[in-house]
Chain A
Amino acid sequence: AQRVTQPEKLLSVFKGAPVELKCNYSYSGSPELFWYVQYSRQRLQLLLRHISRESIKGFTADLNKGETSFHLKKPFAQEEDSAMYYCALYTDKLIFGTGTRLQVFP
């Protein structure tokens, strides 16, 4: 079955602390994975795609096929990073995880 799991509903950190948002997937094929961010009551915005191996707003994510994970990381969290983060798997459509709310306190 195709599934995306984000085990943490809420992650709270202080400004400047490192952040890791966990994502695990289940898919028998070669995965195409994305991270989307949703700021308060706004649209879903593409943050990262694994194929481009880019760093956006200081965030990075590495695909680990052995652990079937695609965790999102940032070494120093900022208050403006507070948002909902969704990991998504593309098969013939995007399948989203349940999301993790990141709260960054000053």
Chain B
Amino acid sequence: EPEVTQTPSHQVTQMGQEVILRCVPISNHLYFYWYRQILGQKVEFLVSFYNNEISEKSEIFDDQFSVERPDGSNFTLKIRSTKLEDSAMYFCARGGQDSGYTFGSGTRLTVV
């Protein structure tokens, strides 16, 4: 199966700025996920997206976060007003139960 590609690989942004992390291309999967990994910490679930709707979100995924699938292939995570503590690796993934997830290469977000 084709890999999950994320862009950019690294983004530096100032606190309070909006960032959009992209996951491209996506094959014809229905299930997508965003996870984040703060440096040195565990991989944390953010949100799951099924059939173009959010199916579940964690407490981390507050009003500052949003996800979209704007054109049927790209899958984006938007952080409206970044905070220092948003600095992390963000991974998108596709997949389901039996096959496990296929993760993207990640975007390293650094908020300064």
A43 near B105 (CB under 8 angstroms)? yes
Chain B residues engaging chain A, CB cutoff 8 angstroms = 33, 35, 41-45, 48, 55-56, 91, 93, 97-106
Determine whether the beta carbon of B56 is less than 8 Å from that of A43: no
Main SS class of interface, A: strand
**Nearest CB of chain B from residue A7's CB, rounded to whole Å:** 13
Contact B45 A94 (CB under 8 A): yes
Contact residue among B42, B48, B91, B100 (Cβ-Cβ distance under 8 Å from A93): B48
Q: Give how many A residues have a beta carbon under 8 Å from the other chain's beta carbons.
A: 20
Interface 9-mer from A16-24, A69-77, A95-103 = A95-103
Residues B33 and A45 in contact, CB atoms below 8 Å apart:
no
Q: Within 8 Å CB of A49, what residues of B?
A: 98-100
The residue of chain A having its C-beta at the shortest distance from the C-beta of B105 within the complex is: A43
18 contacts between A and B (CB under 8 A): A43-B103, A43-B105, A44-B93, A44-B103, A49-B99, A86-B42, A86-B43, A90-B97, A92-B48, A92-B55, A92-B56, A93-B33, A93-B45, A93-B56, A94-B101, A95-B45, A96-B44, A96-B45
Contact of A96 among B43, B97, B106 (CB under 8 A): B43
What total count of A-B pairs have CB within 8 Å? 52
Chain A residues engaging chain B, CB cutoff 8 angstroms: 32, 34, 36, 42-46, 49, 51, 86, 90, 92-99
Which of A43, A46, A51, A96 has the most chain B CB atoms closer than 10 A to its own CB? Answer: A43
Interface centre among B35, B41, B43, B100 (most CB of A within 10 A): B100
Q: How far is A42 from B41 in the complex, measured between Cα atoms in Å?
A: 15
* Contact pick for B104, options A32, A43, A46, A99, CB 8 Å: A43
